[in-house]
Amino acid sequence: MILPKLANKLISHFIWSSLVILNRIFVYHFLIGILIGLIILIHIIVLHNVSSSNPFINNNTLIISSYPLIFKDLSINLITTTIMIIVFLY
């Protein structure tokens, strides 16, 4: 009688601890994606606002306007996200 109860406890403990670890992995996977996206966004903003440090160009006043590029990127991302939602959720 003790063996089935012990086996039941061990199995339930293994299943619940596995689910907790799996949930942590999913959360970290989600957060790492957001962190990488933020790093890319900061990189793009700094790249367009500060200018590059090319040694062959002596003029440091060349700053690339980021407005058309950000508008283009956001519109393409919006269209792609809309298509993905339509395809995968319907």
pLDDT in tens, 4-63: 776 777 667 666 666 777 788 888 888 898 999 899 888 877 776 666 565 555 555 555
Structural domain boundaries enclosing 9: 2-89
- Do 64 and 48 form a contact (C-beta atoms < 8 A)? yes
Q: What is the DSSP letter of 16?
A: H
**Token output for 19:** 């689910």
Give the residue-averaged pLDDT of 62-76: 72
Record the pTM: 0.45
The yes-or-no verdict on residue 86 having pLDDT over 80 is yes
Give me the pLDDT at residue 42, please.
87
Give me the pLDDT at residue 62, please.
54
In terms of C-beta density within 10 A (0-12 exposed, 13-18 middle, 19 or more buried), how is residue 9 classed? exposed
Q: How many domains does the chain have?
A: 1
